[in-house]
Structure 1
Amino acid sequence: MHYNKPRKQTPKGVTNASVTQKGDKLTGPSALGTAKMKDPEMVPLLEVIDTLNTLFDDLSESAVAGLMALVIQAAKSDEVLRSRALENSLENFLKSEKVRDRILDTLLAAPGELGRLVAEVVGDGKGLDSIIAGAFHGVRLDVEQDDS
């Protein structure tokens, strides 16, 4: 029988890639030089997700991202939502009762932890406009990426 002897690891110094825990959220390095998102088409969607993370700080970032993925996928596959996102301004998209109803139907079908988030959104309306805006930006980003 032959086996490899474990190698002794030597410390190589402290790196700036550490991750710390702040409440339930993980944060990475924040020093100057930290890379920023360079794709300007993603900025509106990232702003929506940041807003939702702030509004629902008791939920994990993965739950918020999962909710947005669910809503964006529903908006991309629903012809009414897709066409309204492409043909209207964000302001008009947000005002549409048909859009609101379809997004709420998607939210109400959300499973697990997402269901708890939905109860908060539907219960007092907080974050609903941000979620609808996320669907708007997600559809437009999808079309822009297909066109490139």
Structure 2
Amino acid sequence: MSQSINLVAYESASDGRIYETKTELIETAFVSTDLLNELQKEFPLVERKIYEVPDEDEHYSIECFNDSDIEEILIKLEGIFLSVLKSDSEKLLGKSDYQDGKSLPSTQSNHIKSSDISESVSRFRTLSNIINIFNLKSNKYGGDTSVVLKLG
């Protein structure tokens, strides 16, 4: 089962509170339970209060990635990505088939199963989407505490 990580912009006030009065979903990425658990081992989620109405104390909490962890999470995700690329290439192409780097591998000559390629593409897409959403937070919204990476 997978969950989603959502990059959401909330309305903010000068008091540091964020409000649900105006929200914008910037980006969504699906994450597997296994990968989410792996991230949470090192980077526990934090609770953020979302206030319903300005100048009132009524609020609810959401679970978010801590802004101060974003850069370290990106490093971890990139390491996982490289590991998956290496593992999939060895599984699909064999260790010695593509080491010279001079020619592209041929699926016909290696009898690669279409289902194996599909699984590899799916892992690639999932990880690249997750890396993208964390990069967006870091590069475009890094200093904005009203833009959060929350579980959906």
Length-normalised TM-score, structure 1: 0.30
Give the number of the structure whose residues are more often helix, by fraction.
1
Taking CA–CA contacts closer than 8 Å with sequence separation of 6 or more, which of the two structures ends up with the larger relative contact order? 2
Give the number of the structure whose residues are more often strand, by fraction.
2
